[in-house]
Structure 1
Amino acid sequence: MMHQPIDMACTRWCILRMSGPRTLAVADSLAAVGVEAWTPRRTEKRPHPSRKAIGPDGRRATVEIDAPILPTYVFIRAVHRDEVLAIAADPASPHPQFSFLRRADNSIPEVRGADVAGLQEEERRAQEIIDKLRECEGREARRRERAALMKTERARQKALRMERREFSPQQTVTVEGMPALGGMTGIVESSDGRSAVVHFGGSLTMTIEAWRLAPDHVQSGNTSVVAAA
């Protein structure tokens, strides 16, 4: 997860050095004790460590990890310099190992916020990229979910079509899953278990699949349902 960017424009910063794999750990460890520490980072998607982890699309799953944009460099606000110098000099420090970037005369340089504006812009662009990627993946996940629901609904309808529903002549029924007939009741004229001829009044008589019909419990008698062999 990307960290909230620090406003670096109106202050001065010192630079810490460390090994590449420790970059984020140093920044996070110092920030956890109240030091204003920052290093530009981006979120990357990488294959899941386990080859057995399969994503919804049937391919190997991915995981998100934070990665430094500028490995081996962490910026701390200059007002924390003495505090961080003490941390670096403490052999019992719980923080990952790091050192200060120094000039040839051993002095510690400071940089302006404007000097690292390009790095902040790079971090912002990296965040935009991962946000767009997540949005695309979200749309794809929703598409797969809709497809799965449609597949489930088709399977449900197929199972219902395999049932035989016997309706008695003159039985009153309602229709499910056909909005045009929603709220209407009809009278069964004949039924063969797979479909029924239903009269809705006037000249409206229709043959409707039996699985779409339900007895009107207020007026009708029993309906028998038999699974097809």
Structure 2
Amino acid sequence: MEKQTSKIFGIRAIIEAINAGNSIDKVFLQKDVNGPLMIELKQLIKEKNITSSIVPVEKLDRMSRDNNHQGAGALIAPVPFYDLDTLITATIEKGETPLFILLDQISDVRNFGAIIRTAECTGVHGIIIPKTGNAPINGETVKTSAGAAFNVPVCKVDHIKDAIFMLQAADIKIVCATEKTEDTIFDVNFNQPTAIVMGSEDRGINPSILKIADTKAKLPLLGKIGSLNVSVACGAFLYETVRQRMS
């Protein structure tokens, strides 16, 4: 079943959607629009830690087309988002060896969907993304994932570094996929609790994240091309993990 990302407009409608427990991907607020209801919405966004953006009226006009947006629009994600701390605890309590993926601002929804699909096939316990800068989970993401987006928990965090510190506190080792190392994936022990970090399509992993990783690893490249597509690279890391854990 494919479930498209829903768009809703109107300040009261968004307030009701948030209070009803809908998984809000992002809220767009028109610049310079104020009033009691808008203040209430902004407070609710802050309380629920929902991603929001101040935009010109033209953007909301384009988003809403013929709808009366009243200065606010929102995207409802087709899947729920999970609390990372709760997910880590639940994974450990199941007695399984944790395996997580952190995505450092993957921008292409097709890459994101392909990663989710491979993650589901390889038993990943959760995918962690930043609240800003990452491709959204929308209808295209769900379609590319072949529905796997409904089966793999996704956690949204303010900062990837904070998620890394939380994982490390639970004795989950951080492995960064980067060419800035001499070690290959065959030098890494994936039998231990592991979280694999994949970088963005254009710049790779942020240097500040590389500094706090436990391990860095690269894929051997024997041809003339200097890098792989991020979803393909992620698949290689995950299946090396599967190979080691099944041996």
- Same fold, TM-score > 0.5, yes or no: no
TM-score by length of 1: 0.21
Q: Which has the higher strand share?
A: 1
Task: Determine which structure has more spread, i.e. the larger CA radius of gyration.
Answer: 1
Q: Which has the higher helix share?
A: 2
TM-score by length of 2: 0.20
